Amino acid sequence: MNRPSAWLKYLNPNLSGTAAQIQQVVCFPHSGGAASVYRPLASELAGDAEVVALQYPGRQDRHEEPVVTDLHELADRIAAELGARPVPRIFFGHSMGAILAYEVAQRLGDAGPVALVASGRPAPSRLRLTTSYLLDDAALAHQVVWLGGTAAELLEHPEMRSLLLPLIRGDYQASETYRPRGDGPLSCALVALGGDADPVAPLDDLRAWSGHTTGPFRLETFSGDHFYLQNHWPAVADLIRSLTLVPKR
């Protein structure tokens, strides 16, 4: 039985399938994202794997908590939470979530995931120095809308904009001030995913993830931009099934 946690949201807790060798897929949202963005994936994987999404401080039911603006602090806190739950896992992270999943995997060591799926983010070795979190509100909102995603639609409403922008700014700060610690490569399988028209994570930057594991590596691309996932959840679920050895439907 899953104990209550502010950090972990069980999106399809009534797992009935027994074929999955990987019992749990832990999902790390992008900057400004909440656990609920992974509901489509949870629906696709119902009966195959339990999908658990991280709920970072500062959003939805944790909106009264301050946003964590240091990615290493966030990774420390998540690793402490997950370390008490030793089950076979895949980590899936998109954008900021990909780097965060990688850092949590580093901290967990042998208790870490059997596979890391890093989506829409250049590898840690392809660090790009950006400071979007220092933009004024109008410019930051423009950049978020340019990238697309759920937040772009919500930013059209003034009240939601006033609530979301501080959260997005804090996440951007965590993401953009991140610097790798210089740890060695992981040993788990690693899959890099991306949209073929993503301006944030070009293919060469995705391919560089291969240097961050001694385990098997592969690169998969989909049609679309930074938020290509919105149109490809069934295919992404099939990819995860291939990692869990669950047959495609």
Active site residues: 95
Residue 148 region by backbone torsions, left for phi larger than 0, else alpha for psi between -120 and 50, else beta: left
- Tokens 């099934």 locate to 241
Q: According to DSSP H, which parts of the chain are helical?
A: 39-44, 71-83, 96-108, 137-147, 150-154, 158-176, 203-207, 233-244
Q: Going by C-beta distance under 8 Å and a sequence separation of 6 or more, which residues neighbour residue 205?
A: 122, 123, 126
> Quick one: how many helices (H) and strands (E) in the chain?
8, 7
Tell me the C-alpha distance between 55 and 46, whole Å: 20
Q: Which amino acid is at 217?
A: F
Nearest residue to 70 via CA among 146, 223, 172: 172
Burial class, 103, CB count within 10 angstroms (exposed 0-12 / middle 13-18 / buried 19+):
buried
User: Do residues 165 and 137 touch, judged by C-beta distance below 8 A?
Assistant: yes
Tell me the C-alpha distance between 196 and 246, whole Å: 27
